[in-house]
Amino acid sequence: MIGLRLRQLVFASIIALIAYVFLANVMFPASMGMALDSYSLTIVGKYLCFAILAVALDLVWGYCGILSLGHAAFFSLGGYAMGMYLMRQIGERGTYGHPVLPDFMVFLNWEQLPWFWYGFDAFWFAGLMIFFAPGILAFVFGWFAFRSRVSGVYLSIITQALTYALMLAFFRNEMGFGGNNGLTDFKDLLGYPLTSDGVRVWLMLSSGLALLLSLFLCQKLLATKFGRVLVAVRDSESRTRFLGYRVEHFKLVAFVMSAMIAGLAGALYVPQVGIINPGEFSPLASIEVVVWVALGGRGSLYGAALGAIVVNAAKTFFTGFYPEAWLFFLGAMFVISTLYLPRGILGALEDLAQQVRGKAPKLSQEGLS
Amino acid sequence: MIPVTRSVLYLDGLSVSFDGFKALNNLSIDLAPGELRAVIGPNGAGKSTMMDVVTGKTRPDEGTALFLGSHDLTVLDETEIANLGIGRKFQKPSVIETLTVEENLELALAGNRSPWQAIMQILRPQDRRSMNEVASRVGLTDALDQLGGALSHGQKQWLEIGMLLLQEPKVLLVDEPAAGMTDSETLKTAELLKSLAGEHTVMVVEHDMEFVEALGCKVTVLHEGRVLAEGSLPHVSSNNEVIDVYLGR
C-alpha cells in the first residue's frame, strides 16, 4: 500500500510540474512573474528525458534481468534521427547556404545527399525513425544475443562493445553524420524557432507527457501476464524455459520496446540541448544510466525515474559549484546505494514508511530476491 | 532408422560424459502409456542427468531418446519439449519466489505461450476454476496471495507439483518430490502421484524407500549411469548387486 502511495506521489509530482509550467508559462501572462525562465525549462526538460531513458532501462534490467550497458546507444540513435530532421530544416540558412546539403557535407565536398538522409525533411518520417532506428538495432542485436543465450555479465560486456563501436563509427566523417562535431546549429522545429521560449516550453511539456506515457504503458504492460513472465525470466530463466516459454522471444520484445522508449527520450533531448554528437554513445554514458536506476530503485519504474532526476539535479549542482567533486560524489552515491539501499531511494522510503507505521518491512513483490 | 515403439518415453543406449566422467553409460529405459515408474539409485547414478537429457537441457553423446515414438528429444530444446507435453519438477524447489502462488500457477497454466498472447491474455473463469482446483488439491488454497519465496520447503514442493499439473503434460518427470516433507505429506504425495498415473505417464526419482514402497510400482535401479535392475520393489531389493551398491549399506 505504501509502495503504491509513493509511486502515486512520483506520478502526481510529474503531473503537477507539467500543470504548473503549462499554467505559468502558457496560460497566464508573463507579467505575473511565475513563469520558468528558459534556462530552467531546458534543464527540467533534460531531466525528464533522462527519466524516460531510466524507465526504459528499468524495464529490461529491473524486470527482466538484462543489464544493458549500452542503452545510451538507443538514446543517441533516437537523438540522431531527430537531429537529421533538424538539420534538414536549416535549409539555405546554413553557413554555406546549400539548399539541401547540411554544412558538414558541403565542407567535405559531397555532391549529393547520402541515401539514408532521404525522407528526414519530413517530420513524420523522422518521427518513425526515432522508434525504428533504435528498435531495429535492438531487434538484430537481441535476436542473436538472446538466441545464443548470452546473458548476465557477458551480455553487459557486449552491449558496452556495441555502444563503443557505434561511437567510433559515428566519429568518422565518412559515415555521414557530421563526424566529431555531430549535428548542431539547429534553427527550427516544425517551422518554429528552437530558441524561442514558446518552443522550449512545449518541448519540456512534451518530455513530461512522454515520461508519463512511458510510465503508464510500461506499468500496464508489466501488469499483464507478459510482465509476470519477465519477472520469472529474471528470477529463474531455466525454470521459465521448462514451463514452455520461449525466453528469448520475451526478452527480445522487452528489449526492443525498451530501445524504442530510449530512442524517444533521445529525440526529445536533442532539440532541447541543441546538439547531438558521438560523445553521447560513450560507454560511460550508459553506465551512468545504470547508476540512476540503481540509486532510484531497480525494479520500480517510478524509482528509476526518480533516480534519474535526483542524480542529474545533483550533477547540475556539483558541476556548477564543485566541478572536481562530482565524480567522487557519483562514485560515493553508487557505493552507498549498493551497500545500504539495495532497493534504491524508493525502496528505502517504502521501508522507512513501513517502519514508522510499526510494521516489519515485508519482502516487496517489486523488490529483488 | 527410427525404431518402432509404442512407448511414451523410449531411451536407448544413452551415454553422456562430462570431462571424461560417464554420467550416463548405455542407459536404456522405456515407459509405457499411463505407467508409474520409480527410479532409484545412489548419488551420481545418473538420475538427474537422465532427466536433463529427456527435457533437452543436456545433449547425449550417443543414444536414442524418443517421445511418443516420433519426437527426437536429442534435437529439440527445453521449450519445445515442454510444449510437446513433458513436464518436470525439479529436485530443488524452483518456484518463482517473487511471484505469488497464484501467479506461479497462472504461469504454468496450459495454453499458448507466445509473448503476444501473454500481453493480451485475460484469465477466463474456467482458468480460475482449474487453478483453484489444483490449489486445493495441493493444499495451497489459503496461500494463493503469498509470495513463492515465503512458502515453507514442503509447500514449495507442493506448489511445483501443482504447477506441473496445470501444464497438463503427458509425461511428468518428478525429481525427489518427498524431500523436506513430513511423513504424512509424503504419503499424500505418493497417493497423488498414484492417482495421476493412468491418465499421465509418471516417472519419479526418489531416495526415500518408504516413499517408493508407498508408490507400489515398477522400480528401476540406476548405478554408474546404467540400469542395474528393473522390476517390482521386492524383486529388485533381493538382487545381490543392488544390495551391494545401494540397499545393503
Q: Is B118 close to A244, i.e. CB distance below 8 A?
A: no
Task: Give domain status of residue A367, yes or no.
Answer: no
Across chain B, how many H-helices and E-strands are there?
Answer: 10, 10
Q: Is A236 close to B121, i.e. CB distance below 8 A?
A: no
Q: What's the confidence (pLDDT) of residue B5?
A: 63
Q: Which chain A residue shows the shortest CA-CA distance from B120?
A: A224
- Residues of chain B where predicted confidence (pLDDT) is lower than 70: 1-5, 246-249
State pLDDT tens for residues A254-282. Answer: 999 999 999 999 999 999 999 999 999 99
Residues of chain B in contact with residue A247, where contact means CB-CB under 8 angstroms, are: 79
Task: Give domain status of residue B15, yes or no.
Answer: yes
More confident residue, A112 or A143: A143
Q: What's the confidence (pLDDT) of residue B1?
A: 45
Chain B, 68 to 87: residues with Cβ < 8 Å from chain A are 77-79, 82-83, 87
Q: What's the confidence (pLDDT) of residue A161?
A: 95
Task: Give domain status of residue B233, yes or no.
Answer: yes
More confident residue, A312 or A37: A312
Task: Give domain status of residue A363, yes or no.
Answer: no
Phi first, then psi: give them for residue B89, nearest 5 degrees: -105, 130
A287–B contact, CB cutoff 8 A: no
Task: Give domain status of residue B181, yes or no.
Answer: yes
Q: What's the confidence (pLDDT) of residue A361?
A: 45
Task: Give domain status of residue A366, yes or no.
Answer: no
Task: Give domain status of residue A46, yes or no.
Answer: yes
Q: Tell me which residue in A224, A241, A365 faces B147 most closely, judged by beta carbons.
A: A365
Average of per-residue pLDDT across A122-143: 96
Task: Give domain status of residue B3, yes or no.
Answer: no
Task: Give domain status of residue A364, yes or no.
Answer: no
Task: Give domain status of residue A56, yes or no.
Answer: yes
A365–B contact, CB cutoff 8 A: yes
Asked if residue A291 lies in contact with residue A158, where contact means CB atoms within 8 angstroms, the answer is no
Residues of chain A in contact with residue B108, where contact means CB-CB under 8 angstroms, are: 243
Task: Give domain status of residue B190, yes or no.
Answer: yes
* Domains: count for chain A: 1
Instruction: Band the pLDDT of A364: cuts 50, 70, 90.
Output: very low
Q: Dihedral angle at the C-alpha atoms of B135, B138, B144, B149, nearest 10 degrees? A: -140
B112–A contact, CB cutoff 8 A: no
Q: What's the confidence (pLDDT) of residue A1?
A: 54
C-alpha cell at A367: 523488490
Strands A183-184 and A275-276: antiparallel
Domain range enclosing A24: 2-356
Q: Tell me which residue in A229, A239, A365 faces B118 most closely, judged by beta carbons.
A: A229
Q: Tell me which residue in B55, B87, B106 faces A225 most closely, judged by beta carbons.
A: B106
Task: Give domain status of residue B1, yes or no.
Answer: no
Average of per-residue pLDDT across A221-234: 94
Looking up residue B208, the CATH number of its domain turns out to be 3.40.50.300
Q: Which chain B residue shows the shortest CA-CA distance from A238?
A: B78
* Domains: count for chain B: 1
Could you tell me which of B36, B33, B34, B28 has the C-alpha nearest to residue B10? B28
Domain range enclosing B73: 9-247
